[in-house]
Amino acid sequence: MFHPTIMLRKSSVCKFGTNLYKKGYDCAEDYKLWTDLVMKGLQFANIPENLLKYRISENQISNRKRKEMFQSSLKIQVEYAEWIMEKMIEKENRLFVFFDELVKLFNDGIITVKALTKAVHNFL
């Protein structure tokens, strides 16, 4: 989803609070917003048409602050994976041990965030 293409009903979004853009997610505030809204139950749909022409420049934030954007994106992905794990553990308590070990492997640097999220999504 590209930020300039998003259309939302104000009533759908505002029911989740007024402080929609969170601090601490440098260069990825929009990604955090979409993830938070999904976690609160808002559903998204995609129009299967190209409706945006996007100009790329060396001076745009995504090029100048690539490292910060990448770090924020990883942080959001881990938070989302943790949220999914919590929801799944609520339904099936025996998954706690598996997810706990998975998080330990991630925290010890043995597996990547990509491997963590892939393992979590395989259970969905």
Residue ranges of domains in the chain = 3-122
pLDDT above 70 coverage of the chain, percent = 96
Among 115, 4, 88, 12, CA closest to 53: 4
Among 54, 61, 16, CA closest to 34: 16
Check residue 9 and give its pLDDT: 78
Which tens digit of pLDDT belongs to each residue from 41-95?
888 888 888 888 888 888 887 778 888 999 999 999 989 989 999 999 998 888 8
Q: State how far the Cα of 61 lies from the Cα of 56, in Å rounded to an integer.
A: 10
Among 85, 122, 76, CA closest to 103: 85
Check residue 41 and give its pLDDT: 85
Q: Residue 108 — pLDDT band, cuts 50, 70, 90? A: very high
Check residue 110 and give its pLDDT: 93
Check residue 51 and give its pLDDT: 83
Check residue 17 and give its pLDDT: 65
Check pLDDT > 60 for residue 18.
Answer: no
Check residue 13 and give its pLDDT: 78
Q: Residue 11 — pLDDT band, cuts 50, 70, 90? A: confident
Check residue 19 and give its pLDDT: 67
- Between vectors from CA 97 to CA 89 and to CA 107, what angle results, nearest 5°? 100
